[in-house]
Structure 1
Amino acid sequence: MIILSGDPAETKTKNINQLEFWISTTLYILAVIGICTSTSYGTANAYRFIENHISYSRLSNFFLPEIFKISILYISFLLINFCFMPQLAKKNNIVLNVVLTVIVTGVSVLIWMVANTYSQADRLIEDDDIGHAYDILFGEAFTYIFLLYLLFNIYAYFSEKGMELLEKLSFLKSFNSNIKLEIFTSIKIWLITLMVFAVVFSPTRDYEIVVICLIAPPVNIIFVFLSIYYTIPNLRKIGKGFGRYFWGNVAISAMICLLLLLLLVGFMRNGPAVPIALILTSISLICISTPLAWYIYKHKFEKQTEIQMLKTELGKSDASLNFLKSQINPHFLFNALNTLFGTALQEKAERTGEGIQKLGDMMRFMLHENTQDKISLTREVEYLNNYIDLQKLRTSRSADISIDSHIEEQLNNLQITPMLLIPFIENAFKHGISLQQPSYIKMTLQTKESTLYFDVSNSIYIKADNDPEKLKSGIGLENVKQRLALLYHGKHELIIRESANEFFVHLTLQLG
């Protein structure tokens, strides 16, 4: 059976779902452990029963009610997030999934209310009308579950459709392409925080905590995004540093808190929740969000700029390298053709066949292997030997010319950039051989482990004024120097010495 890999987007969604499942399961297990610990070693809610002279059972008045409450929340979150909402977002079986969501919500309200009649039984006797007391418990349970499950549904829907909604916001298109994903992730983290606090802290008794969670996180998230994508880049353009950025943010934070105060002044009658939320928001904006945004910008966007510059320079170097390679190939080809021409004239075409064979091997090498980034050192050595043999054909009838070559056969797996060594040998034959004067060339090549040692020395003679090569400096050695600098930076040592009678080159190359 052949198994085909699925859509990458589906795989990513599956991984996110698994992560959400294990996070929610871990939180559920931690909550159960907390309930068990409070039951075994703590006083739980016993003090309220004792104050009202009511009999108290750790099992029925704390452990079981809390376990039922936290379990129904956990199960409902899994059903809404992984079953009902994904189907609703895809518009599959809309009526069925809406009905199931309503049923789960109703069952949760019922379980939560019954559990509260046991865990908060002391409140029933505080009210003269038992029916009114039950109505209060039911109202609190309904309000809490309704708001919490509304948050569950918002989170589940945003998980499914959040990126699509952000894609429709045209003003985000002018920013970095990653901003949508970053906003999506930030909103999900905020929603998760709200859900966790809503589960841990009941809104009927911890109103301040809920208000703080509703106000502080989104304000800080928006503030960080504005700083990273607008404030800091504009300040950097005009050469301003952290000082200007920090004091500017202090002023902006004060204006934000003043605006929030004007908008939320009507809610301040319900207690200190709003003022506390505004104070914490201003502190977090200045002490947390401001330096955090600066840090993110410095270590993310400036690094990206640096990487882009390096890529640009690398592209230039690569283009330069390709140009150098294109210069080298025709240079060697014409040298080889000149050599064959000279041999044909001297030998009356008797040994031209051997030269043509050598040239064919060289041309095959240049056409098929010279375009690769790396080739085996064995093939490079074969090319060197072909070139040397081809030159020997030209100089074999001159007794005053000595060509001494000691190039080891390479049986290793070392790799080298093609056409890297030949310019040194070509330069030696070009400038060190004279058919009218005594001259010599000595060449050695050996490897030890992954290090290559290459030496070339040749005689120097004064060229005649009518020699066309006298005024030509050649491009071979300059090209190979540039290639070594680009491709073997810090991995080579090139020594070139020239005296009145000799030109010497020593190259040490790390190939491993």
Structure 2
Amino acid sequence: MEIISGNPASEKAKNINQLEFWISTTLYILALISICTQTTYNSGYSYHFSASSIEYSVMKNFFLPEMFKISVVYISFLLFNFCFMPQLSRKNNIALNIILSILVTGFSIVGWMVANTYAQAYRLVDFDNMSNAYDMLFGEAFTYVFFLYLLFNAYAFFNERGLELLNKIQFLRDYNHNIVQEIFTTTRIWLISLLVFAAVLSFKLDYDLLVIWLIAPPVNIFLAFCSIYYIIPNLRKNQKGFGRYFWGNVAVSSLITLLLLIMLVPFMRNGETVPVTLILAAIAMVCITTPLAWYIYKNKFEKQTEIQMLKTELGKSDASLNFLKSQINPHFLFNALNTLFGTALQENAERTGEGIQKLGDMMRFMLHENTQDKISLTREVEYLNNYIDLQKLRTSRSADIRIEAQIEEQINNLQITPMLLIPFIENAFKHGISLQQPSYIKMTLQTKESTLYFDVSNSIYIKADNDPEKLKSGIGLENVKQRLSLLYPGKHELIIRESANEFFVHLTLELV
């Protein structure tokens, strides 16, 4: 057998099998403790033997028979659930596994009958002859063991193939993608409840209760699914509340109960048990299933609404980020082209060519790397240097302008969001440089381990009244603030100070 590691489906099946094994083992141990406790206090079936005036031995008439019966049931469950049925569902060694299943069932029936002959010897006095007594004990053992093992096989088969069979029902898959898994889970729970119910019946079946247990839980499950996936959604579309839903389910539950009563009465031995049990089932549908389905729907609906809101907000953030990028790129290109235009008017072609080369590097950066989520800090620094050199071309002939840049060369592998730092420098050149007045810009950038420290300071001068930039605050800094809050929440510190003569920006940024 080939084992594929890392397969989620196989890992999930393995976990489920382990859970079933430990649950069944725990129940078996609890049953053994109960038997030992009753044996210690010499209880068990002693009352029945005393009433029938038959000699009673706690070991022969209680401990050994009950230990044998509970052990046979436990071992048979393990064999059917983990050995026979998984092989049959995969069509492996079909004949061998069928023969083994029949042998285990036959041995259990005979062993159960013999154990009951000792454990229920007090019942033998109720028969005219021993042949009739043994026939009765054999019939009860056969009925109980056959039904119990039938449930074992049904549960084991549904575990192996149930989800696959439900997925073949096109209507369910088309109606809602979650409903198949939920039906599979609830059906398994119902089958487990049947197993527990059958296990506690001991030697004698109560046919009325058994039939009700076979029908009432599926009816409640059916009503719950109808409520969650059909009734409540349609009522909510029509703006109807819980009151309309509740009284509608009362009518539906009454109708279902009436139909069940008509169908089940002819098959019941005790006519009084059936109506009472069905009324209790109807009460469960109204008082338990109805409000529970409403709660489940509301919980599912609210979670889906919350998820949808988160997706919407995430979409807005992405759209905002893309919009901010689209705003930034044309902004820089416009400024760069203006710079080149002014330089071309003042200087010769050599300097203009140098400026065009710088601009080409910047445009390639924006076209190829600005669209990425993260780039190396080295490339971001190269872009900053190109931009500063381009601006120096414009201001180099003015002796009253001081531009100081101490940008540390980056040889690390740190990553940063592209175009995140340039708005601060662009803002400094835009608002801090005057060709008519003394002005300055100071820039420093350094990294320590994974932390970036970035400072920009520039002079402030009073703009002329006819300067078109006087009343414009610019979009660069606002954009970068939004990007920092979106992309580096809790990982950055931005300090902006402005005095009468200076504008200062300090950014500390945690990079990876």
TM-score range, shorter chain: 0.7 to 0.9
Percent identical pairs in the alignment equals: 72
Aligned CA distance change for structure 1 residues 505 and 176 (closer, same or farther; 3 Å): farther
C-alpha deviation, 1:199, in angstroms: 1.0
Aligned to 2:331: 331
Q: Are the equivalent residues in 2 in contact too, given 1:215–1:281 (CA < 8 A)?
A: no
Aligned to 2:110: 110
Aligned to 1:22: 22
C-alpha deviation, 1:149, in angstroms: 1.4
Aligned pair count? 509
Alpha-carbon separation, structure 2, partners of 1:40 and 1:360 = 95
C-alpha deviation, 1:365, in angstroms: 5.1
Q: Are the equivalent residues in 2 in contact too, given 1:424–1:505 (CA < 8 A)?
A: no
Structure 2 counterpart of 1:423, one-letter code? P
**Structure 1 residue 459 and structure 2 residue 460: aligned?**
yes
Aligned to 2:45: 45
For 1:305-336, what per-residue CA distance to the aligned partner results, in whole angstroms no more than 9, with x for missing partners? 22023213312321331232234234324534
C-alpha deviation, 1:243, in angstroms: 3.1
Aligned to 1:322: 322
C-alpha deviation, 1:220, in angstroms: 1.7
What are structure 2's unaligned runs of at least 5 residues? none
Aligned to 1:79: 79
For 1:448-474, what per-residue CA distance to the aligned partner results, in whole angstroms no more than 9, with x for missing partners? 996967565542454686x78789876
Aligned to 1:35: 35
What SS does structure 2 have at the residue aligned with 1:53? coil
**Worse-matched range after superposition: 171-180 or 488-497:** 488-497
Q: Are the equivalent residues in 2 in contact too, given 1:211–1:277 (CA < 8 A)?
A: no
Alpha-carbon separation, structure 1, partners of 2:245 and 2:441 = 68
Aligned to 1:260: 260
Aligned CA distance change for structure 1 residues 251 and 406 (closer, same or farther; 3 Å): farther
Alpha-carbon separation, structure 1, partners of 2:41 and 2:379 = 78
Counterparts of 1:152-231 in structure 2 under 5 Å? 152-202=152-202, 204=204, 206-207=206-207, 209-231=209-231
Q: TM-score with structure 1 length normalisation?
A: 0.85
**Structure 1 residue 151 and structure 2 residue 154: aligned?**
no
Alpha-carbon separation, structure 1, partners of 2:455 and 2:278 = 74
| Cα root mean square deviation, aligned | 3.7
Aligned CA distance change for structure 1 residues 58 and 316 (closer, same or farther; 3 Å): same
Aligned to 1:10: 10
Q: Are the equivalent residues in 1 in contact too, given 2:454–2:506 (CA < 8 A)?
A: yes
What SS does structure 2 have at the residue aligned with 1:91? coil
Counterparts of 1:31-430 in structure 2 under 5 Å? 31-41=31-41, 43-202=43-202, 204=204, 206-207=206-207, 209-270=209-270, 272-340=272-340, 342-343=342-343, 346=346, 348=348, 362=362, 366=366, 369-374=369-374, 380=380, 383-403=383-403, 416-430=416-430
Q: TM-score with structure 2 length normalisation?
A: 0.85
For 1:44-82, what per-residue CA distance to the aligned partner results, in whole angstroms no more than 9, with x for missing partners? 111111212222222221111111111211222222222
**Worse-matched range after superposition: 21-30 or 325-334:** 325-334
C-alpha deviation, 1:205, in angstroms: 5.0
Alpha-carbon separation, structure 2, partners of 1:158 and 1:73 = 19
What SS does structure 1 have at the residue aligned with 2:436? coil
Counterparts of 1:437-448 in structure 2 under 5 Å? 437-441=437-441
**Worse-matched range after superposition: 480-489 or 444-453:** 444-453
C-alpha deviation, 1:351, in angstroms: 5.8
Alpha-carbon separation, structure 2, partners of 1:457 and 1:241 = 64
Alpha-carbon separation, structure 2, partners of 1:336 and 1:147 = 86
Alpha-carbon separation, structure 2, partners of 1:477 and 1:50 = 96
What SS does structure 2 have at the residue aligned with 1:123? helix
Q: Are the equivalent residues in 1 in contact too, given 2:208–2:268 (CA < 8 A)?
A: no
For 1:137-188, what per-residue CA distance to the aligned partner results, in whole angstroms no more than 9, with x for missing partners? 0000111111111112221222222123212323323432111000001001
Alpha-carbon separation, structure 2, partners of 1:396 and 1:169 = 78
Aligned CA distance change for structure 1 residues 38 and 413 (closer, same or farther; 3 Å): farther
Q: Are the equivalent residues in 2 in contact too, given 1:211–1:274 (CA < 8 A)?
A: no
Q: Are the equivalent residues in 2 in contact too, given 1:66–1:115 (CA < 8 A)?
A: yes
Aligned CA distance change for structure 1 residues 227 and 460 (closer, same or farther; 3 Å): farther
Structure 2 counterpart of 1:459, one-letter code? I
Counterparts of 1:472-491 in structure 2 under 5 Å? 475-488=475-488
Aligned CA distance change for structure 1 residues 451 and 149 (closer, same or farther; 3 Å): same
What SS does structure 2 have at the residue aligned with 1:436? coil
